[in-house]
Structure 1
Amino acid sequence: MMTVQIEVGDTALIVNISGGTMFTTLRKRIEIPYNFIEEVQVGNFKFPLTAIKRTGITTMGYKAGIFIIDKKKYFLSYHDANKVAILGLKEFEFDRIVIENEDPEQLVKNILMRCSHINN
């Protein structure tokens, strides 16, 4: 069950959060203006043992919430670390956002189409 829905809006990427993830992260939505996105990639995210949980949940099969990894602030939401989009952000509340998507390649293409400032 996905508790995060991604909307590719005209001026911003909107992450809508529901269910248990909403309670563990204490938020319903993260709106990321495209000009804050520095990089975007389809990933195979390796969750480090050194991650510090701020709010959220970590189980063998699920990671969601706000974590500090290598002194950077991450928002994570995924079951399958091989089906995630990884966003690198600048001057934003989070340094990285890692979210699972059924079609991460298409999501990344859709974001890149709106981020002409990113050189791929």
Structure 2
Amino acid sequence: MGVQVNLGNSEIVFNISGWTALTSLRREIKIPYTSIENVQAGHFEFPWKAVKRAGINFPNGYKAGEFLYNGQKYFLSFRDGNHVVILDLKGCEFDKVVIQSEAPKQLADHIMEHCPG
């Protein structure tokens, strides 16, 4: 996948590379832990009515980039919607960030350890 996750002291940084960086026109997303309302690991069903702003949506399941759906802005980077971490955000550029992980439950737990409250 085209996203590497770095957990800092006050924020999570997604370093974006490859096709994901090329099509989303970005190399990095920074999210303060204070902006994370919810973190969950598991399944994400891509809404077929989502509007692609800058990204790709291949028939093989790979989705990456920025999408709009029901007035919310999403950043996606996954091929398998059953192995993702979903961040619900407030006061950020995105309302949701969905990224694939080899160990989504562990990544979600590590992110939650850094979140206040």
TM-score higher than 0.5 = yes
CA distance in 2: counterparts of 1:103 and 1:10, whole angstroms:
21
CA distance in 1: counterparts of 2:37 and 2:54, whole angstroms:
25
- What 5-or-longer segments of structure 1 have no aligned partner? none
Q: Normalization by structure 2: what TM-score?
A: 0.96
Q: Normalization by structure 1: what TM-score?
A: 0.94
Once the 2 structures are TM-superposed, how far is the Cα of residue 43 of structure 1 from its aligned partner?
A: 2.5
CA distance in 2: counterparts of 1:101 and 1:87, whole angstroms:
13
CA distance in 2: counterparts of 1:33 and 1:80, whole angstroms:
26
SS in 1 for 2:112: helix
| 1:27-66 to 2 correspondences below 5 Å | 27-60=26-59, 61-66=61-66
Matched-pair contact (CA < 8 Å) for 2:23–2:55: yes
AA aligned to 2:55 is G
Task: Say what the alpha-carbon RMSD is for the aligned residues.
Answer: 0.8
| Deviation beyond 3 Å, 4+ runs, structure 1 | none
CA distance in 2: counterparts of 1:7 and 1:100, whole angstroms:
14
Match of 1:81 in 2: 81
Aligned length: 116
AA aligned to 1:85 is V
Once the 2 structures are TM-superposed, how far is the Cα of residue 116 of structure 1 from its aligned partner?
A: 2.7
Match of 1:68 in 2: 68
| Percentage of pairs with the same residue | 50
Matched-pair contact (CA < 8 Å) for 2:33–2:116: no
CA distance in 2: counterparts of 1:48 and 1:32, whole angstroms:
23
